[in-house]
Amino acid sequence: MSNKINQQRRRKVRIRAKIFGTSDRPRLSVYRSNRYISAQIINDVKRETLIGLNEKSLSAPKDLSPIKRAGFLGEELAKKALKKKIGRVVFDRGAYRFHGRIKALAEGARKGGLEF
């Protein structure tokens, strides 16, 4: 296995050790591929995914930049979360740095009404 993958795995484990989603405050987990971004709201106590969205399932205009699509995804996720009476979450960026699409998704979720 390459050194880069090991470094990512170590970063992810280090961050996950500090973050835990409960029923009061579930975890907002983000996955970023080269092409798409997806997010899930997870209750770690019951080990269940409450809400999951990805860019492919959105009705966002395709001419938007990847960063704007990530912001749109964050807003849509916040709308669905508020419908399920989820207002506060713990943000889990995984092994990714908090900039670019990850930051845009977080800001979109905050703009949509989620608190973290």
Secondary structure (DSSP) of 62-109: TTS-HHHHHHHHHHHHHHHHHHTT--B-EEE-TTS-SSTHHHHHHHHH
| Percentage of the chain modeled with pLDDT above 70 | 98
pTM over cut 0.95: no
> In which band, very low, low, confident or very high, does the pLDDT at 25 lie, cut at 50, 70 and 90?
very high
Q: Residue 103 has what pLDDT?
A: 97
Pick the CATH number of 3-112 from 3.30.420.100, 3.40.50.460, 3.50.50.60, 3.40.980.10: 3.30.420.100
Structure tokens, 65:
């930049």
pLDDT of residue 61 exceeding 90: no
Q: Residue 1 has what pLDDT?
A: 67
